Structure 1
């Protein structure tokens, strides 16, 4: 063998050796779906949830994750359900067709409940960081989980609070007839009655209404001192403005992310008192150049649980991930994430927050893993 031929052979062998190593170093793309209302009245809540999940994936990818002995890169497949149940079903099917191994979402219970059927049929794990209607997990789908306590308990807690702590004497309820709003209002009414409170009226609207003056005029004539609103915050803001225009000083109470001094929020843990949540807030702002709205930590923890389940299963098989999620335990920003047989959190905390000078301040926490 002459020297020229030997050098050529060595170069070919080196190239053949290099190419497979280069190919093997490229991580496999693994899609995790995210769905929320990214347009419309509650779009800012949807973006807050999206960014929470994205931060979890960014931090995981920085660790050069490996699944099944192969490097992977987790990518968020983002879809907008527009807070519309019909659109939610469509985008759920799109995520299934996209090959996602799991889904973080939806936000609205009215979207999560119908979409969960699509994920169930495809055996795709779904973790909602915001849907709190008890019916979601009562369906018996083993692939459905949530990182926030449901309204069957939270609404009752709120009912007791307004009677026992706020000393409300004449209570009215308005709900928007959605799965979330009506379910929460029903639980709140149950809590008020358990505490021997006095409900003087219950009114109904819909989630598209913008004029509540007729309802408010009726409630004003009945001298109510507290109104509970089962609905989302955009309408809550309209209620506050119209109450003030009618000269009402009545306290408005409900669940949402409304930055109004008259409005309280029923959520998970007292994030303003947790060091982990404060550290999360700093990382979140550094990454997205905005402050946490409220729900991002719950979405972040949902993504953490999903990632933990994938690593515990050491597989990208959808069925194995579902089985792994049922047994997952992870310490997140909002506390311990462990699911009961229905997919609900074990011993979830419920915190009442009130806005003071534009910031959420926790008033009282009930339950939690330490209870």
Structure 2
């Protein structure tokens, strides 16, 4: 205690000598590192960049606002890594963040990279909040460090399956997926729901997440004459798939999850997408007064980065904010100290209320159904 008093006195004397307050010397900035991982290269780099920009905006807002934790002013730094939507690269990126001693992680984008990376974060005791990985397995592994701010496959695929049958009146459905954890997961949930609702799955086909030619698969699908084709995968494949459906004369609706539900799908599909042909769901969504806040966020985002929000940027933004809110509540940026506060968080974000259940899933997660008109996303409804 005596030594601490002497140290403070010395700090004060030095400060006075240089014309700086003793308080500013003793309360130097504390650097807090937030990790982010997404596919910044590869065929869905536009979605990965969307995520990363959401994180950048959150970090800028926090630093502009000024946050104090444990009596020290915090300077937040973003440590960004690229996983190229590849599981092996995803685990390598995760290890890089652990080695960099980040205080928390937002990501990854894909379930296929998020799930294997989650064990690395769990072993290191670093909280991880995914803004977009919806495969249920992510939070079913029992890792206390794993959280997500969007609804999972069961909710998303299930809602789309019921919509296909009850609203679109589809009786015969074809299902295609890209063999990833995300694509297969959402396709399986869609199939189960559609069958339970009374439809028949007349074709089940598998491709991969690098494919661009679907003519062989679609020729098989055409022979079954489905009213709906469901694709479990990303917009980089859904775009050319729509063009090839048109070339083959397949007049079915194309349905899919949030992977295809981007602002960029219209451009990727070109003239292959008719108005109202695509029905997709985004894991999240707000109504009422919250919609105004989301619209303002999207306007700010476009002004800052010169592009529209694709899908997940607002959820990344809230993921960063919810981690920092937990740090503030715990009065510590140390992962082990703020993790319990994160598990009990009750945060009102841009994307709505964020409260986690005992597995780390968001409670009462909402979904937004969209179609496309003149190549632009057009909201149908927000459902829970």
Task: Report the TM-score, using the length of structure 1 for normalisation.
Answer: 0.92
Q: Residue 268 of structure 1 contacts residue 334 of structure 1 at CA under 8 Å; is this kept in 2? A: no
- Cα distance between partner residues in 2 of 1:18 and 1:126: 39
Q: Please report how far the alpha carbon of residue 205 of structure 1 lies from its aligned counterpart in structure 2 after TM superposition.
A: 1.3
- Within a 5 Å distance, the mapping from 1:93-108 to structure 2 comes to 93-108=95-110
Q: Which moved more, 1:232-241 or 1:205-214?
A: 205-214
**2:91 corresponding residue in structure 1:** 89
Question: What is the alpha-carbon distance in structure 2 between the residues aligned to residue 84 and residue 13 of structure 1?
Answer: 51
Q: CA RMSD in A?
A: 1.8
Check whether the contact 2:151–2:283 (CA below 8 A) recurs between aligned residues.
yes
- Of 305, 308, 312, which aligns to 2:329? 312
Structure 1 unaligned spans of 5+: 1-10
Matched, 1:210 2:227: no
Change (3 A) 1:13 1:31: closer
Distance in 1 (CA, whole Å) between partners of 2:14 and 2:113 is 57
Say if 1:159 and 1:190, in contact at 8 Å, map to a contact too: yes
Alignment partner of 1:302: what SS?
helix
Determine if the alignment matches structure 1 residue 337 to structure 2 residue 339: no
1:300 corresponds to 2:300? no
In the TM superposition, residue 68 of structure 1 has moved relative to its aligned partner by 0.4
Which 4+ runs in 1 deviate beyond 6 A?
A: none
Matches within 5 A, 1:237-252: 237-252=239-254
Secondary structure, counterpart of 1:77 in structure 2: strand
TM-fit CA distance, 1:19: 7.8
Is residue 54 of structure 1 aligned with residue 66 of structure 2? Answer: no
**Structure 2 counterpart SS, 1:62:** helix
Please list, as runs of the form range in 1=range in 2, the aligned pairs for 1:175-324 lying within 5 A after superposition. Answer: 175-255=177-257, 256=260, 257=262, 258-259=265-266, 260=273, 261=275, 262-270=277-285, 274-324=291-341
Which structure has the larger Rg over C-alpha atoms?
A: 1
1:48 & 1:147 partners in 2: Cα distance? Answer: 16
Match of 1:35 among 31, 34, 37: 37
C-alpha displacement of 1:26: 4.2
Query: Which residue number in structure 2 is paired with residue 155 of structure 1?
Result: 157
**1:221 Cα offset (Å):** 1.1
Q: Is contact 2:286–2:352 with CA below 8 Å preserved after alignment?
A: no
Q: Structure 1 residues 14 and 268, CA, compared in 2 at 3 Å: closer, same or farther?
A: same
Which of residues 365, 369, 373 is equivalent to 1:356?
373
Aligned pairs, number: 357
Deviations 1:148-172 (A, max 9, x none): 1000121011100000001112100
Unaligned runs of 5+ in 2: 1-12, 267-272
Structure 2 distance, partners of 1:51, 1:268, is 19
